[in-house]
Structure 1
């Protein structure tokens, strides 16, 4: 397990757009099974126990969280979602097996039946940022994180794709070129809104576009001064987003609004504006149009308008 995880990380994992998450998942598997556990010894029973163990955990291991209905009260947190269990245990373990069998040519005769262990996930929810929520979201987000949040809404990119290196941005050519989901190369156009945000953020002294101001000084050779600009990371952004929800006083991000919903918001509004599902597919860099059809509900109002127009023509009336 330890050797396989290290080799997978070196050959594949470190190049993922979400490399930080990949490393966390690999470390979790090594800690659970032990570095000396052989892949060909991992059975369906072992995987079932792994899933049960992970399924019982809570987000960030917390024992108590703030009650969304009463911020002064602490309650037991919910366990992690089925999708999180699948993405953080079964899928990375299956990728290790696939790499070992198909690339390293290591025979694994008793490979687990992965489909039996995948938990059923609810249909993906499509959530927009409502007009009444716009101001609260902007006010709740930390000032030094706000440019990144605004960029995510304008670009429609995934979180990991928004954490751009400066050399990924071609302002002259009007393109962003970075690594997306599954190691896919993303070639994304830059709109006037995105350009304004990028130009305002590129002057920082790091190799990354979006940075935050360090709240405290860190001593030592690798340290930094208070207020130094540091690259925003996926975990740092998630922490900021979580803290901005359900604050006891002042503006807060709606409890059911996830950062990924900014991408849904972008897609929904783009489809409503263009009525072109193929265009939205390209803007989101979906490989299959079927993935984009989850936004097709936006066109329901167009269907109704068309039906009404057809009825008026059939009845020979122009009534509305």
Structure 2
């Protein structure tokens, strides 16, 4: 046993010694830069081996930007980012955007270490350099789902928009999701995700979801945008508010610009006719439901109060 420990200890000592020596006195191959472009040959080779895109250690390509992220090759080297990937840390911000606009670290997804990716903070008005505000604007909402078809929307903006990720809490409980965008239907089939053309879910849109049995979908995120763009004709939109409000008040910004609004609640259709509100059975807009708005021939922007 002593012999084994002695051998292991000797090997460890040798490894540590070698590691330290390598960092104190780098070898010539570590600093070779044949084209004198400020990027060592080993770095250029590392990001070229096995790739169709290549850096050239025999040519000064330090001022080029092959991935189009507004960060030159020499800066990619200095910041430790990938010269052929626009978003090295996958935080939804291009490397150049992080360096030149937000002063965040393009190699670390959460620069301030507060728990939220830099891209999420920028999108939702938080400071990616201040960890204290990462969770200050987080809102949680729950959408109740009954067996069969449900017309829903999100009263908050989730940090991620991947439909698979958002619906993970009710995985196996639904059979299909439909959305109507820009005059076209889109479908997500959880059994055939690769053949589905509906890949995201966001605040501002309405969704038909077919449930196998009842469930509750809880979503956390930031405050949803106050405006929703409407195309001419029918729009399947979301109600971007966590509070119930009278229909007439909610739609005041598009008064005279829409023909009707419909909602599907507990298996029953309800409608609001702005010309005959006294005959309408839809009187209140509520969070969690999706709405059909007929804008007629007008293109307009619905701004919530």
Give the structure-1-normalised TM-score: 0.23
Structure with greater proportional strand content: 2
Structure with greater proportional helix content: 1
Give the structure-2-normalised TM-score: 0.24
